[in-house]
Amino acid sequence: DGGITQSPKYLFRKEGQNVTLSCEQNLNHDAMYWYRQDPGQGLRLIYYSQIVNDFQKGDIAEGYSVSREKKESFPLTVTSAQKNPTAFYLCASRKGTGPYEQYFGPGTRLTVT
């Protein structure tokens, strides 16, 4: 089955630690995205990548980093510089270079204490 996988579903970390969230897709999509979801806030864009080895900051990139070494993978690192990292993180992908819809993974809930 084609789709997007995010692992783990739940992640717990202590404050001050970096943590990496995994996102893998086997849809052969070119573009990938990371969004953050907080209650009552909708989804906000963290980073996106349209091709391998290239990515752009979104609206709330501070305290986050990404890499895109392979087409199918777009991991997100939440660094200790992120002031309020506890949230639900969603990865998405989109085919081609046109305005196609995005497909979303199941999400990772990160809790930092």
109 part of the interface to another protein, by CB under 8 A: yes
Q: CA-to-CA distance for 103 and 46, rounded, in angstroms?
A: 16
Q: Which of 19, 21, 31, 112 touches another protein by CB under 8 A?
A: 31
41 part of the interface to another protein, by CB under 8 A: yes
Query: What residues contact 48, with CB distance under 8 A and at least 6 apart?
Result: 31, 32, 33, 34, 55, 56, 58
100 part of the interface to another protein, by CB under 8 A: yes
Using CB under 8 A, list all residues that contact another protein: 4, 31, 33, 35, 40-45, 48, 50, 56, 58, 88, 90, 92, 94, 98-107, 109
